[in-house]
Amino acid sequence: MTLLDDEPVIARAEAWIADDVDDADRADLRNLLTLAADPQMREIALTELRDRFSGILEFGTAGLRGAMAAGPRRMNRAVVITAAAGLAAYLASAVPGPARVVVGYDARYRSADFARDTASVLTAAGADVSLLPGPLPTPVLAFAVRHLDADAGVMITASHNPAADNGYKVYLGGRVITDAGQGAQIVPPYDARIAAEIARVSAAPGGASGVPRAVGGWTVLGDDLHEDYLRRVASLHDPDLHLRDVHTPRATPTSGARTAVTLRSEGSGPTPLRIVTTSLHGVGGRTLRRVLADAGFTDVIPVEEQLDPDPAFPTVRFPNPEEKGVLDLALSIASDARADLVIANDPDADRCAVAVYDPDWGTYQGAETAASHGWRMLTGDQVGALLGWDAAQRTASGTLACSIVSSRVLARIAERHGLRHATTLTGFKWIARTPDLVFGYEEALGYCVDPEGVRDKDGLSAALRVALLAERLKESGKTLRDALDDIARACGLYSTGQLAARFDDLGRIPEAMGRLRAAPPATLDGAPVTGVVDLAEGVDGLPPTDGVVLTADDDTRVIVRPSGTEPKVKCYLEVVTPVAADATAESLGRARVTAQRRLERLRKEMAAALGL
């Protein structure tokens, strides 16, 4: 390919430079054009330019998310300004008078700039805009949308993505959404309506440079908004609800102010719960510290190296608590401190990971680490089961909801407590819209424990619920592992796992899905496949989505779907083991080992079926 062949992309880059609003982004593109003229660097520069200008960063139900750089397929000020203008145009058509919008941002590179650009565009368009006072967790923004009765909310964050990324997340509420989804993230058809307005702005002469921007006029909120959020989370305390055996009838919970745990000397009874926390260099560290302190948890050890926001995420390769090795530092500190549990938030604090000490998982093989001693992270489904059971015991009516790829154990928990259960598409934009929602979760470490306050996943209030549950268990001589055993005795043992394949060539993802649809496996770990459901056709009232569900006659289930935020195909695996009501902890341990072996065989089978 010659330079002449790339004249169109070079022309698009030059046009972008002319209309860009940011000096650094213009310089970035000029540098690439200079390199493209150098015979030794030409192909590298042109490959980058082709990628940046091969399309646009599409606005969908996840808003915008991508790497930060100049060009239409990257996150930059020009893309954010046109997105804000499109949102403003949509809101002008959706509500009478000035729209009320609240804007938040995390501590990633350029997040504050993107938030100010959003506020300036919306203000110039006539909206009544409130800007959060500084980098704060996503749940605080989600809370603010409902608390301030805003018509829309914008959160600048890339959540747990790499340091090079940023994103633009939109919530609708107030007068725009008045049903159970008020204050939740956008879903169709709202995403398409906003995207159409963004496209119209992008096509106008001048692009982003032609969008009016105010130099002021928005309100910068005070710290009282954060305090209001903390008070809302503090309202979740319930001091008189003690752990009941899962086989006993549910009693009506009482209310009252929680008393802090009193330190006891050795041998005089349970000591206070000792918690190690980490925010992975995100914005949740000090808010989580307040949440736990306000609840009376005084023995809390933060991972100091990861406590304060740092957009470079220097101690982790990938700031996602689901990724292998990310919690190693926290687990090591927990092992040294003999902690009861570890609680981790992702960088924008909407997810919550929990790790516990389990001596049955200890091993003398390999290097000596906290994990080899028995520290392990609970799966999202295990935490979902714990919080789901906890929520079910607190209410006499309502609905427990989870995404379709999450464990079916929540449905059994709901059934056992006489509650409704709802299955939704993947993502809290769907889970949070469940009518009469009491608790919702997705296996990717997302939990909604207070849907009236936050119609989204909230890793901070979830962390508090986990801590309160662990404390009650400890006071009765039990642990979270014991509670999981009790749930298994009541509902059966639901064991889950994943296979995730990352694709550099995005074209291979539909090929892999097509291969599975054309020739699904006949068995799953030896059990005959009795059901193959294509989610693209819409099932059980769910909107169509790209995915395939395989079920076997022994209740084994596999769901295969492309990731909505990453270039991956994910397989969600679940095996079910019947458990006697009087099963011993030892027999349950053996059943879990057997289930893990079954999951490992399933991983290999599905990798072969997808051609990996």
CA 558, CA 524: separation in Å to the nearest integer? 8
E-strand ranges in 15-99 read 64-67
Q: Is 176 helix (H, G, I), strand (E, B) or coil?
A: coil
d(CA 421, CA 436): 10
Q: How far is CA 355 from CA 260, 323, 339, 358, 375, in A?
A: 23, 13, 10, 9, 7
Chain centre distance of CA 534: 25
Sign of the four-CA dihedral 395, 399, 402, 404: positive
Query: Cα(282)–Cα(286) distance, rounded to whole angstroms?
Result: 10
Residues 6+ apart with CB under 8 A from 8: none
CA distance 391 to 374: 28
Q: Mutual orientation of helices 23-36 and 42-52 as an angle, nearest 10°? A: 130
Q: Kindly report each contact of residues 548-556 with a partner whose C-beta sits within 8 Å and lies 24 or more positions away, as own/partner.
A: 548/513, 548/516, 548/517, 548/520, 549/404, 550/520, 550/521, 550/524, 552/523, 552/524, 552/525, 552/527, 552/528, 553/527, 553/528, 554/527, 556/524, 556/525, 556/527, 556/598, 556/602
Element (H, E) at 412: helix 409-416
User: Which structure tokens are listed for 526?
Assistant: 């030896």
Residue with tokens 């319930």: 238
How many angstroms separate the CA atoms of 581 and 263, rounded?
36
C-alpha–C-alpha distance, residues 345 and 284, integer Å = 7
- The one catalytic residue in 159, 202, 407, 495 is 159
**Tell me, what DSSP letter sits at residue 63?**
B
**3-state SS assignment for residue 352:** strand
Is there a catalytic annotation at residue 159?
Answer: yes
- C-alpha angle 252-343-316 in degrees, rounded to nearest 5: 155
Q: Where are the beta strands (DSSP E) in 394-543?
A: 399-403, 420-424, 437-442, 446-448, 493-502, 523-524, 527-534
**β strands within 309-457, DSSP E:** 341-345, 352-357, 375-377, 399-403, 420-424, 437-442, 446-448
> Mapping DSSP to helix (H, G, I), strand (E, B) and coil, where does residue 392 land?
helix
Distance between CA atoms of 159 and 460, rounded to whole angstroms? Answer: 14
Q: Return the active site residues.
A: 159
